[in-house]
Structure 1
């Protein structure tokens, strides 16, 4: 909504609050405590409209509270193309899905300093441990010539009840980081979820953004903080605008549990009727100050046929923050469940689960236009099936205004192309398979493990024991078809497109090797030539370890670091792996070592690109007191020219790429600013 529309809505809401503050739920009114006719409003694929009457939104939220008191099941609300981010400057950035759309991570780098959030236990008081975590921002200066590192400062972020914050950078025109936006979740609502003295505790979920001044890296300070009611589901940054997607459930204070008498039921109903917009809608606080309204009813979109019996258990709230001006610029809300958030440069899509008329699962999609902090609802639609839960955003992609999406219904998988119409609908222009192209995506019993859209192509990996890679031609958006297929052992869980200087198209995959019984064994990295979409073929594979081996990069793209070399004839990349390769007495394998594995793709300008292992930076190995890897947080690496900087929990180490290849067992590192050598 525009700023003027929001101002009008705020004024209308203020007037409405004054008008309804008295009379509702008065002691002389007959109270209806029969909630059996209420029903949760389901996600709809019909066009939505901004609310024109406050009561339609507020009454649906009141019904949601009534249903929760009656024991109705709650709606489950959960959790999201660029070949690379901009690589100018000779160093790697956070691996992202869409060029120009930044994603939060535990580690950020600007060519001079590594910024890493390290969770540390709060020291116990007395004999009992606290069980709390304090989050420490570690700032480490780097030398891209010698690979030297030096801890500059450590800053403890406020909030021992929060999740580990994820970082965004606000950089100057020269690329130096001036501020960091640390996004986290306050968990106190979960710690106080039990009734106290018969009254339901109403501590809300809260999303926290802490704005940290790092212009002087040795003297970090908090410049600003905003707390928003709601549980964070995803975030993205475009320019200096931070978009937050959160789910909010009203927690109305003063409700008595258990409501097992007519008197308590009527008291609860009276409290529900008296609840104002301020009670039912989320708010926010700046620097711990007075709570302000985050959402007004006029910010919400809803179906035209919403009835008086429909209930909203949750609201999904999309908030835009201007990080330069440090203010909320716009908010939209919608009632839907969420199992995927996708953000392009221009649009934000929320994907929720729905049920078709025949009872079949479907994915309901809602599109919002993003324009420099202004959010506007555009359209809704639905497709059969559901998107994956892991890296759900990668199952969606916007290209030239169309949304492409891969969904599954059991082991039947399909691709749909949706287009916005003038009547606010997302209409499927094409589906695959279809009568002209009936070949299925995947074989019986196979599940989708990875999806990647890139321009006019889509790559889909399904697997049970073998790993079929499907290359789909989307050059004609109304007539997609499977152009090529390659069947290989193993399963890929992440796909990274790579384009060479001559236009050669490659696909890098990270996943798992599978044995004959379908058991996942070592970590598998493979390079594919997809220049000819009809004939994809493997150019090389590297497998690390046996059963028990693991890598963050199989599930989290941010754990994979990439950097072009020279004129992009080569690409270097790094990923952490815990290698289990030592035979054990019971026929299994024990932990051998953990380390950052350095790989390289060469020959991009020639006819035969190839994949090779360049070296390993070992970060841990077993000893008498440490027989298993400790899974440090964060576990990331940064590539800068000929240097590799590794962030391994509280340890930051640097190495020259060539030295890591020549002497992988002898590497300098820095921990708390002190030198140590692993032998």
Structure 2
């Protein structure tokens, strides 16, 4: 037997201890790993009751990017609240966007769509590029068969007649065309499936999901006679409005997240818990609207982590409605970007730099500002007292100029409307009011007692407001100093303007209605219960006025044209007005619908007549005047009444095209020219 020395013995003991320690460490690590694995596999306990969740509502404060978990919880709370409470926030009411500032068509010898802002195109039922006319043809019944909505393509011939060269069907035969865009040999056709709600009509309550989709068909029109389908896109939700700058199409889309199979009549705690658990189990991706390009399976437009929700929202709050601001390159479909906010939108206004969305909450107008930068970044939120209202074109009550947003709102809470002009500028994530009218230095109210606002228009550093109850005051406002708006002058005349169009050289066009002067009291009249003041105001017919505002302290009506028993769709839709400005000399065309009753021995016959007014104003003349140059009266091939509210026109040099229904007529600008068509 070999004897170990003391040193060797100690060394062996040390080695054995090391082995024991190493074994213990390995055992501990394995045990910890096993424990961690078990912990990782543990799922959070399933709720056994529904937590307290507030009724769904929108907020008036700034928005924040709160992260995926918070956004997911906020949307799910909104879905549950809508299912359980049927919360009612408000309905939206709005009208169409409007018409442009002056000089939009100076570089062309043909007219294009009138828009609110120069350089920001708006969708319309016609588009014309000088050679090709595209018309969104409405669905019609013909020989007991329905002809689905489609796009007519008509090419201009050398004699300015038109020849149809193509007809473009829609992806869905039951869809409705919401508007067209034409740019850089590409045509974009926007249509909707299901029930149609846009900013131009009553929008649905945002907590009630609609089975609807926005359809976007993009055509390559480099060969107009043979347009080629380039892309077919579907987007979940409902388009609220759209605009185009260059090749980029901007769309604001509303979508209400929902979960199929929920028990909307759940009353017991068990039934409500079942709804809540079903909502919790819904993947985040299923809460987002999807975009489907050229028949693919669809991808979410946004990720929850990228959506903005109200900063004021608590863990108990929620809202299931999302607005997606989407930008699509019409010529390159791979170039798409979007941003997402939880908000309500009633009106959209867009400048060349920013997009604004407004909604109404507790007698205030809430405004959200989104930059048109590469990320479509949310900027700020603000509020002004009162609401935008519903007359004429509400988006015309907003205007951005030199980093200031101007807005006109009305407070109806006291019974008689009180009107205010506010100027806002961005400060951090807030839109702060920096100036108002009336104010301490200028306390005179906008409008007399009882008068409502019928038209608003901003042009550079001036604002124009028309109020009306029994007479039409036109107000001219100085906005050169945003912190101190001033009332410069006013003009009172019979009737009212629903729409104002700035012209060159200090002139303004007003389009509206004339009222019977016998119902208007004279200055100094003593009014009592038997006075004409109690008689209803009688609208006598469509009225077009030319105003001279070269002296803003003393605006003057130069002259007017009145058309009894008539109206023009320009009064509620700016796009019906066609403008061709050549160095201050204007050609103006607007549809006119006239009605009346013919009496015979046997019966009374109601009749209508559709025509196109051709007007001229030369603002460079020593004495400018509004002149009627011609009036084109047409009769459709069918005897059925066709509403004239969608009538449009195009001016190309001395040639005129008049679109009524789905048909087109052609004539010359000069009086007495033949009316050719319909095409």
Equivalent position of 1:409 in the other structure: 411
The 5 Å alignment of 1:170-569 reads 170-171=183-184, 178-187=185-194, 204-327=211-334, 329-355=336-362, 361-371=363-373, 373-389=374-390, 390-410=392-412, 411-421=417-427, 423-499=428-504, 504-515=505-516, 516=519, 517-546=536-565, 549-565=566-582, 567-568=583-584
Range with bigger deviation, 427-436 or 580-589? 580-589
User: Who wins on radius of gyration, i.e. which is larger?
Assistant: 2
CA distance in 1, matches of 2:69, 2:320: 16
Q: How far off its partner does 1:592 sit?
A: 5.0
**Whole-Å separation in 1 of the counterparts to 2:47 and 2:636:** 71
Matched residues in 2 for 1:606 and 1:554: separation? 27
Pairing 1:134–2:148 present: yes
1:632–1:20 Cα change, 3 Å? farther
Displacement of 1:292: 0.1
Summarize deviations over 1:552-609 as a string: whole Å, max 9, x none. 11110000001124x43x211111111125666899995352111111113x223311
Cα gap change, 1:541/1:590 in structure 2, threshold over 3 Å: closer, same or farther? farther
2:101 matches 1:82: yes
CA contact (8 A) 1:591 1:622 kept: no
Counterpart for residue 104 of structure 1? 123
Q: Distance in 1 between matches of 2:270 and 2:560?
A: 70
Where does residue 73 of structure 2 map in the other structure? Answer: 59
Task: List per-residue Cα deviations over 1:168-218 (Å, max 9, x = no partner).
Answer: 1122xxxxxx1111112221699xxxxxxxxx9976432221102222222
Q: Contact between 2:213 and 2:234, CA under 8 Å: does it hold in 1?
A: yes
Structure 2 CA distance, aligned partners of 1:120 and 1:383? 42
Write the distance in 2 (CA, Å) between the matches of 1:158 and 1:305.
42
3-state DSSP of counterpart to 1:58: helix
Q: Tell me which moved more, 478-487 or 57-66.
A: 57-66
> Among residues 148, 166, 169, which one is paired with 1:153 in the alignment?
166
Q: Bigger shift: 441-450 or 249-258?
A: 249-258
| Partner residue in 2 for 1:73 | 87
- The CA RMSD over aligned residues, in Å, is 2.8
- How many corresponding residue pairs? 603
1:316-374 deviation per Cα after TM superposition (whole angstroms, max 9, x unaligned): 2111112221135322222222221110000001111122xxxxx11111111113x53
- Displacement of 1:632: 5.3
Matched-pair contact (CA < 8 Å) for 1:43–1:335? no
For residue 600 of structure 1, what is the aligned residue in structure 2? 616
d(CA) in 1 for partners of 2:369 and 2:196?
30
Alignment partner, residue 677 of structure 1: none
TM-score scaled to structure 2, two decimals? 0.83
Kept after mapping to 2: 8 A contact 1:319/1:328: no
Contact 1:362 1:385 in 2 (8 A): yes
Calculate the TM-score normalised by the size of structure 1: 0.83
Once the two structures are TM-superposed, the CA of residue 622 in structure 1 deviates from its matched residue by: 12
Report which stretch shifted further, 149-158 or 288-297: 149-158
CA contact (8 A) 2:126 2:180 kept: yes
Q: Distance in 1 between matches of 2:42 and 2:178?
A: 43
C-alpha separation in 2, matches of 1:308 and 1:61: 11
Q: Which moved more, 1:445-454 or 1:250-259?
A: 250-259
8 Å CA contact 2:591–2:644 kept in 1: the answer is: no
Q: SS of 1:652's equivalent?
A: strand
Structure 1 unaligned runs (5+)?
Answer: 1-18, 172-177, 191-199, 356-360, 672-679
Structure 2: distance between partners of 1:141 and 1:523: 34
Q: Secondary structure at the match of 2:80?
A: helix
3-state secondary structure, aligned to 1:103: coil
Distance of 1:584 and 1:21 partners within structure 2? 86
User: In the alignment, what sits opposite 1:358?
Assistant: none
Q: What is the CA–CA distance in structure 2 between the aligned matches of 1:188 and 1:22, rounded to whole Å?
A: 45
